Structures are given as structure tokens and as C-alpha cells.
């Protein structure tokens, strides 16, 4: 306000009826992807309006507490105090670091703010709505928030969200208008040059994604909890084999015990030479019964041994797959799967991308295993590939989702 007596600046704000997004989430609100998208469009529309001024208005403190949702669905962006604080400190030469931890773009820690700074705050807010977690609680790699394993959203929306959450200013949208156009489908999202790297929640899967290539590395069992799960899996396989092993041992002992009297055949032969009819009949009957018992025992042992061998083969197969390092590469040229154990590559398979059927979770039953186990099944025209046999269920779902999303983009 400019008067003869004073030259003051005033910030006029409308009272926004409703509750903040933070309050709604605290009350148990869990919005779906469509709702989150609508909120993003509403906030972006506000930012487009603010950025058209000269100089452009940068909010600098976009977070769930500063976005109000009214009962009739209107969205309000409130608390422009950061704008006033920035102006004041800029004029007086003070610090211009304003914002909220977890929702601040990396450049704000350097006292810098650009048009895409508010996009980062919006992305962090949307991530909070989708998960109910503060962005500061997510794992990071080179300042990039690794959110994909924790959300169930479409690949396009995930790519868009990843773009506005990029820690590098050059990799974000230049302004709110560009971000809004892509989100509304008016423009296509251009891939950044470079690659994305992130890991599964338990860090058993490492992923490298470029615009036209997906590389996955499934690490072998290493941690104590993983070893316990491996031991539990082996126990489930060995448990039904133990009775058969016991019967094998008993059978071998019986054969030895019963076969020893067969040496009495020499005595029987001597008695037979005396041409006594009763002795000859008894001796012959005894030999028939003895040979029959031994035959049945041998046949039984043979069948049980087959099952035992199958069980031992299952244990060996399970151990090899659980302790192997698996490398998967998928690109428009095709796919390649390699497996290593003890530093030796024992499996190398290639194929065309068109040969891959949709990957899904599948239940398999190994020989003698009473319960099924869940694996990721990647099937081509030639063979089936069982992946992640020792992964947790959440990591298996994560692996399936990442491969499926990439195959859908390539197709």
C-alpha cells in the first residue's frame, strides 16, 4: 500500500473452507489414482496461473498441509508466506532457504528456486497421498526418491511422477504448463537421456531402466533372514523324504538278515542228497519264500530309491536357483537371461521379444513337495523360466510389475 505516510506491502488471501490433504489422510482417507490425478491437475492449474506473472510467483512450500480440499471438491493452495519471506530476505540480503523437509526440491537447500521447484513439492505431496508416508521416509539413490516399489499406479502416471520428482532441474518439466499438458495427455512424455536406477524394497533386486532397455539383477541369498527362508524351504522338501530314507535303511537291513540264512542252502543240498521227500519239499518251499521276500524287498527299495533321488534332485535344484545370481536384459532386440553360481555361468538363454508371453506369478510343485511354491514365470515359445524362487512375495509382485510395465511400453 503506497500512501504519503507509508509504503507497505500486504498479502491478501481468501479464506479457504475445507480440510487440508494432511488432515484428510490422517483421518484415514486413501485416494485412488484417478482422484490423485484430478488433484494434481487442479494444483497445476493454479501454478500455471501463478507462473504467468512477471516475475513469476513461486510458492516454495507446497505440501499436504497447504492444499485445502472443500466439501464440493474445490482445491485451494494456501499459505503464501514463503513468497513474502523470500521477498523480504532477498531485499534485506538474508537467507532465502524456505520450505518443508521432505517436500523441498534439492535446489532450495542452496537458496535457489525455479519454476519447476513447485513441481517437486507437488510430486512429493502426491506421493504422500498415494502411500500415506512422508517422502523423507523413502529410500533414495543419488537424491532420487525410489517410490515405484511402494505404489500401485499406472506406468504413465509413474513416469510422469518420476519426472517432476527428479532432483535435477534439467530433467524436470520446465514449468507447470508443460507438466499439465503431459498429465492431461495433450503431449507425450519425452524420455530423459540417461538411466533410472532403483531397487526392490528388500534390495534383493537391482533395476536399471533406460528408454529402450530394462536390466534386472536378482541377487542370491545373502542376509540372515534370507538364509532362514532358504533353510525353511529346504526343510519343506526334505521332510517327506526322511520316511523314505528310513524305510530304505530298514529294507537293506532286512535283506541282510533274511539273506544270511540262504547260506543254509548248502546244508539243504546235503540233506536233499539223502532223498528224504519231506525234507526236499520243506527245503524247496523255504527257498521259494526266501527268494520271494528278497524280491519284494528289492523292488520296494528300488521304487523308494527313485523317489529319494527325485527328492534329492529337487533339493539340488532349489539350492542352485536360490543361490544363483540371475541377470535379465530386455530390449526391442530381444531378451537374454543368464544365471551364475559360484562365479560360473551355467545358464544363458536368448529369445525374441515377440516370443515372450505375459509374465505372472505361478505356483509349482516340486517332486515330493506337499505344498506349492510361488515363482515368477517368464514363458517364451521355447521354454519356461522360473524367476525369483527365493524372493519374498512382495518382491515377486514388484518384479512382475516392472517387467510387465516395460513390455507394455515396448509393445
Under 8 Å between Cβ of 382 and 355: yes
Please check the confidence at residue 34 and state whether its pLDDT lies above 80: yes
**Residues 176 and 287 reside in one and the same domain:** no
Domain-located, residue 150: yes
Alpha-carbon gap, residue 169 to 180, rounded angstroms: 17
**Residues 274 and 311 reside in one and the same domain:** yes
Please check the confidence at residue 233 and state whether its pLDDT lies above 70: no
The pTM assigned to this predicted structure is: 0.52
Alpha-carbon gap, residue 1 to 30, rounded angstroms: 44
Domain-located, residue 199: no
Q: How many CB atoms lie within 10 A of CB 301?
A: 19
**Residues 267 and 211 reside in one and the same domain:** no
**Residues 160 and 235 reside in one and the same domain:** no
**Residues 216 and 302 reside in one and the same domain:** no
Give 109's DSSP letter.
G
Single residue among 256, 290, 321 that ends a domain in this structure: 321
Domain-located, residue 198: no
Alpha-carbon gap, residue 311 to 305, rounded angstroms: 10
* Residue 366 belongs to domain with CATH number: 2.30.29
Please check the confidence at residue 401 and state whether its pLDDT lies above 70: yes
Q: How many residues does the chain have?
A: 411
- Per cent of the chain over pLDDT 70 is 63
Determine the Cα angle at 256 with ends 254 and 262, to 5°: 110
Give 207's DSSP letter.
E
* Residue 173 belongs to domain with CATH number: 1.10.510.10
Q: 109-141, pLDDT tens digit by residue? A: 888 899 999 999 999 999 999 999 999 999 987
**Residues 61 and 142 reside in one and the same domain:** yes
pLDDT category of residue 202 using cuts at 50, 70 and 90: low
Domain count, the chain: 3
Alpha-carbon gap, residue 282 to 262, rounded angstroms: 14
**Residues 340 and 297 reside in one and the same domain:** no
pLDDT of residue 86: 44
**Residues 164 and 243 reside in one and the same domain:** no
Domain-located, residue 9: no
**Residues 248 and 390 reside in one and the same domain:** no
Alpha helices for 239-356 (secondary structure H)? 241-259, 265-272, 277-322
**Residues 106 and 175 reside in one and the same domain:** yes
Domain limits at 308?
Answer: 224-321
Give 277's DSSP letter.
H
pLDDT of residue 22: 95
Provide mean pLDDT across the span 228-256: 59
Under 8 Å between Cβ of 172 and 120: yes
Q: What is the mean pLDDT of the chain?
A: 76
**Residues 302 and 329 reside in one and the same domain:** no
Under 8 Å between Cβ of 187 and 197: no
Q: 313-341, pLDDT tens digit by residue? A: 666 666 777 778 888 988 888 888 888 88
Domain-located, residue 29: yes
Give residues with Cβ within 8 angstroms of 96, minimum separation 6.
Answer: 86, 89, 90, 111, 113
Amino acid at each position: 500500500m503506497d500512501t504519503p505516510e507509508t509504503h507497505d506491502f500486504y498479502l491478501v488471501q481468501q479464506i479457504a473452507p475445507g480440510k487440508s490433504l494432511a488432515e484428510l489422510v490422517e483421518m484415514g482417507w486413501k485416494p485412488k489414482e484417478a482422484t490423485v490425478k484430478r488433484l494434481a491437475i487442479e494444483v497445476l492449474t493454479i501454478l500455471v496461473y501463478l507462473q504467468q506473472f512477471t516475475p513469476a510467483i513461486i510458492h516454495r512450500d507446497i505440501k499436504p498441509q497447504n492444499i485445502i480440499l472443500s466439501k464440493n471438491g474445490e482445491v485451494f493452495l494456501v499459505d503464501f508466506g514463503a513468497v513474502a519471506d523470500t521477498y523480504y530476505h532477498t531485499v534485506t540480503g538474508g537467507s532465502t532457504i524456505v520450505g518443508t523437509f521432505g517436500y523441498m526440491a534439492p535446489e532450495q537447500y542452496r537458496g535457489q528456486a525455479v519454476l519447476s521447484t513447485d513441481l517437486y513439492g507437488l510430486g512429493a505431496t502426491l506421493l504422500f497421498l498415494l502411500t500415506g508416508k512422508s517422502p523423507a521416509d523413502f529410500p533414495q539413490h543419488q537424491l532420487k526418491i525410489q517410490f515405484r516399489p511402494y505404489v500401485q499406479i499406472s506406468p504413465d502416471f509413474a513416469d510422469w511422477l518420476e519426472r517432476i520428482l527428479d532432483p535435477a532441474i534439467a530433467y524436470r518439466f520446465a514449468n507447470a504448463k508443460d507438466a499439465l499438458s503431459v498429465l492431461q495427455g495433450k503431449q507425450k512424455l519425452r524420455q530423459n537421456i540417461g538411466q533410472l536406477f532403483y531397487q526392490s524394497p528388500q534390495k534383493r533386486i537391482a533395476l536399471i531402466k533406460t528408454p529402450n532397455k530394462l536390466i534386472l539383477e536378482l541377487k542370491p541369498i545373502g542376509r540372515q533372514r534370507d538364509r532362514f527362508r532358504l533353510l525353511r524351504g529346504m526343510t519343506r522338501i526334505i521332510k517327506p523324504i526322511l520316511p523314505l530314507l528310513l524305510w530304505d535303511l530298514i529294507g537293506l537291513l532286512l535283506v541282510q538278515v533274511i539273506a544270511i540264512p540262504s547260506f543254509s542252502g548248502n546244508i539243504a543240498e546235503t540233506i536233499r542228497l539223502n532223498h528224504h521227500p519231506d525234507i526236499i519239499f520243506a527245503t524247496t518251499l523255504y527257498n521259494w519264500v526266501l527268494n520271494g521276500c528278497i524280491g519284494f524287498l528289492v523292488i520296494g527299495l528300488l521304487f523308494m530309491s527313485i523317489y529319494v533321488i527325485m527328492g534329492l534332485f529337487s533339493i539340488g535344484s532349489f539350492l542352485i536357483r536360490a543361490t544363483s545370481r540371475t541377470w535379465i536384459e530386455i530390449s526391442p532386440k530381444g531378451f537374454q537371461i543368464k544365471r551364475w553360481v559360484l562365479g560360473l555361468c551355467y545358464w544363458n538363454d536368448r529369445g525374441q521379444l515377440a516370443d515372450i508371453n505375459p509374465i505372472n506369478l505361478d505356483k509349482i510343485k516340486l517332486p515330493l513337495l506337499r505344498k506349492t511354491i510361488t515363482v515368477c514365470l517368464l514363458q517364451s515359445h521355447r521354454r519356461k523360466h522360473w524367476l525369483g524362487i527365493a524372493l519374498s512375495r512382495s518382491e515377486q509382485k514388484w518384479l512382475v510389475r516392472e517387467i510387465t510395465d516395460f513390455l507394455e511400453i515396448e509393445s
